[in-house]
Amino acid sequence: LHYVESQGEVKLGDLLLMDVGAEYDHYTADVTRTYPSNGKFTREQAEIYQAVYDAQEAAAKTVKPGASFRDASRAADKSIKESLAKMNLITAPDATYQILYQGKAINMPQYRLWFMHGFGHWLGMNVHDVGDYDAKLQAGMIFTNEPGIYIREDALEYLADTPENKAFLAKIRPAYEKYKNIGVRIEDDLLVTPTGVEWMTKALPRKISEIEQFMARASKEMNYTRAQNISNPKFAVLDSNNLFQVEDSSWNLFSKTEVKNGKTVRRGWVSSGRDAAFSGSQPLGHLHGD
């Protein structure tokens, strides 16, 4: 779920999952996006991605004052179970498999093999903030909406050797081989409003078409070979031609914006680290700082 080493090589056709955060005026954000490294989802990747997207949408539709976090969580679970059943990764939405505990067979939901974490968490001064998950929602509350599906390569190797599990494996094996090694999570921050919900992270590309269009556009506009390394900047902004220092960093990541020194930012990342430098070896390029 969180590959903290970040040492693996991103290969052509891989999915890259980015779980990132931000902090402003002591409050936090938490966002996850899953992008195809070559700019295009395969058919199988797109099917898994759409299932997660649909679960997000189903959860958000339940959010309003008087509802609960659990309502949204149940809606996401229901959507994922239905999608997994359609893809034949589980035998039915409410089907079970078995684990052995102290010599006894215990039934577990099949969908939890592929969606094994919680639907989301409260968001505030901590990324995983405190709060009562059974409380009624009120305007001003904020939480994450982050379902996921992960078809792990070794997921079926350790199932208990029972007749029920053997029948389960026989039914899902073809679909498992089809979707194996695909993992997707999408995470957005939801604000409860007096009339419903606001997607606070709605400006970030989320639909399959939006992501593919964004990556195609970015690959054309970013000119990595002409980027210059700079050291010890106060602020550094990357545009399509070079890196330059600015005092005023009030610009929009997704639109052309004039900055203080008269240059126009097209696409970029900001860093205030004392050793910030551009790295052109990354798939989309970014600034390093500490």
Q: Does residue 181 lie within any of the structural domains?
A: yes
CA distance 239 to 266: 5
Q: How many CB atoms lie within 10 A of CB 43?
A: 7
| pLDDT the model gives residue 7 | 75
Q: How many CB atoms lie within 10 A of CB 241?
A: 13
Residue 159, phi-psi category: left (phi > 0), alpha (psi -120 to 50), beta (remainder): beta
| pLDDT the model gives residue 233 | 40
Amino acid in the structure at residue 253: L
CA distance 140 to 133: 15
| 49 lies in the same domain as 182 | yes
| pLDDT the model gives residue 8 | 79
Q: Does residue 4 lie within any of the structural domains?
A: no
| 125 lies in the same domain as 181 | yes
**Which residues touch 6 (CB under 8 Å, ≥6 apart)?**
none
Q: What is the domain range of residue 136?
A: 15-205
| pLDDT the model gives residue 227 | 41
Q: Does residue 40 lie within any of the structural domains?
A: yes
| pLDDT the model gives residue 219 | 77
| 39 lies in the same domain as 157 | yes
pLDDT < 50 stretches in the chain: 224-290
Query: Which of the listed residues 143, 176, 205 is the one where a domain comes to its end?
Result: 205
| pLDDT the model gives residue 283 | 31
| pLDDT the model gives residue 9 | 84
